[in-house]
């Protein structure tokens, strides 16, 4: 009889413990789900949230955040009925991205790793704007900047100069160098900005690669701020059409960049007024494509002719598309066809 009572007591205690433990687990799960619902992004919260939460909570929360990121825009692109296939036959890689949701409307070899040349300068400019508080602060030009290869301030093409070049020791504002880098694709301006921010191109490249990782750019590795490849190490310098489009989507947060890219020509001067430089835009669609937000060109013999462009919906200007073509000899025609197809084939609701 005593053995029976002892067995019954033990069984009762074990069962009671399991019941209490199960209730606690259910309670904690309910609390977790309620807590996740308060995370920025779950109720249309627009600020970026990087998920740095401790322990198992971060693991549970991440899927919710990533699902909500895609629906952060009020409107989503919906493909119209009866729309056929689309192609950009002259481009080796291409993508059309809805800027609001980062949804790909069309893509071809969009994740292929390729050289992107001076399109790199948009990423450089975005990082500079994110890092430098006062865009009017002076930059001291160094020899590393002045002796850059290719396009330079005052020289829209290698060996062809139309105005004064940058001089060693010259002081010129960050804003002026951004104009030269984005409008005229000047390599010396991009190098000067990198050295100003981090002391060297190498350290700035490290910053670029860290930022690329934050943005989820899985097929990018940057070597220079200008987009020039490193001699003998060309294979180490690459990005992809999709990653470039991601850069543009984030860069749209900074109006100063796109205002610069829509400027046809301008003059920049040193802080003391001693040096004057004329800058012209490489954008061939300025004045011809009224809903254009901005473009960035790129060319080296290795990369071919490439182009990134952003345009607004011509009907109501409420939606933006990002188009990228890599290694496309007919890049300007291709971009216009991509915008026409994108805006004509989708509606936002």
- Judge whether 240 counts as a catalytic residue: no
- Judge whether 28 counts as a catalytic residue: no
Exactly one of 115, 121, 145, 176 is catalytic; which is it?
A: 121
C-alpha span between 37 and 66 (Å, rounded): 13
Q: Where are the alpha helices (DSSP H) in the chain?
A: 2-36, 55-70, 120-131, 143-146, 174-183, 187-198, 201-214, 241-251, 255-261, 331-345
Do residues 154 and 176 make contact, with C-beta atoms less than 8 angstroms apart?
Answer: no
Instruction: Show the tokens assigned to 299.
Output: 């060319």
Unique residue bearing structure tokens 């900047």: 145
For the stretch 227-231, contacts whose Cβ atoms lie closer than 8 Å and that sit 24 or more positions apart, written own/partner, are: 227/116, 227/117, 227/118, 227/119, 227/120, 227/121, 227/187, 227/190, 227/298, 227/300, 228/117, 228/148, 228/149, 228/150, 228/187, 228/300, 229/115, 229/300, 229/302
Nearest C-alpha neighbor of 160 from the set 151, 169, 170: 151
What count of Cα atoms within 13 Å lies in the side-chain half-sphere of residue 305?
A: 12
- Judge whether 121 counts as a catalytic residue: yes
Exactly one of 108, 115, 145, 185 is catalytic; which is it?
A: 185
Write out the catalytic residue numbers: 118, 121, 185
């Amino acid at each position: 009889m005593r053995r029976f009572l002892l067995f019954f007591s033990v069984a009762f205690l074990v069962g009671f413990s399991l019941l209490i433990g199960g209730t606690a687990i259910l309670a904690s799960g309910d609390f977790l789900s309620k807590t996740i619902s308060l995370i920025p992004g779950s109720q249309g919260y627009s600020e970026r949230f990087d998920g740095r939460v401790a322990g198992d909570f971060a693991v549970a929360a991440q899927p919710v955040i990533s699902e909500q990121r895609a629906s952060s825009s009020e409107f989503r692109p919906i493909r119209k009925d009866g729309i056929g296939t689309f192609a950009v036959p002259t481009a080796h890689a291409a993508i059309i991205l809805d800027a609001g949701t980062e949804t790909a409307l069309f893509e071809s070899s969009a994740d292929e790793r390729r050289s992107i040349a001076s399109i790199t300068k948009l990423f450089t400019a975005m990082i500079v704007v994110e890092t430098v508080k006062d865009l009017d602060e002076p930059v001291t030009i160094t020899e590393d900047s002045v002796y850059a290869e290719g396009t330079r301030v005052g020289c829209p093409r290698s060996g062809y100069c139309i105005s004064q070049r940058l001089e060693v020791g010259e002081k010129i504002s960050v804003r002026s160098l951004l104009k030269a880098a984005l409008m005229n694709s000047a390599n010396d301006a991009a190098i000067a900005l990198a050295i100003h921010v981090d002391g060297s191109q190498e350290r700035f490249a490290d910053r670029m690669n860290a930022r690329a990782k934050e943005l989820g750019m899985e097929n990018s590795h940057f070597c220079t701020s200008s987009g020039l490849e490193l001699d003998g190490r060309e294979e180490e310098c690459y990005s992809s059409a999709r990653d470039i489009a991601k850069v543009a989507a984030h860069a749209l947060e900074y109006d100063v960049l796109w205002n610069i890219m829509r400027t046809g020509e301008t003059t920049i001067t040193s802080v003391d007024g001693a040096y004057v430089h004329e800058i012209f835009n490489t954008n061939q669609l300025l004045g011809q494509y009224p809903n254009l937000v901005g473009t960035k060109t790129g060319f080296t013999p290795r990369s071919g002719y490439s182009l990134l462009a952003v345009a607004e919906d011509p009907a109501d200007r409420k939606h933006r598309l990002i188009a990228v073509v890599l290694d496309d000899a007919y890049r300007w025609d291709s971009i216009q066809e991509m915008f026409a197809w994108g805006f004509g084939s989708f509606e936002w609701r």
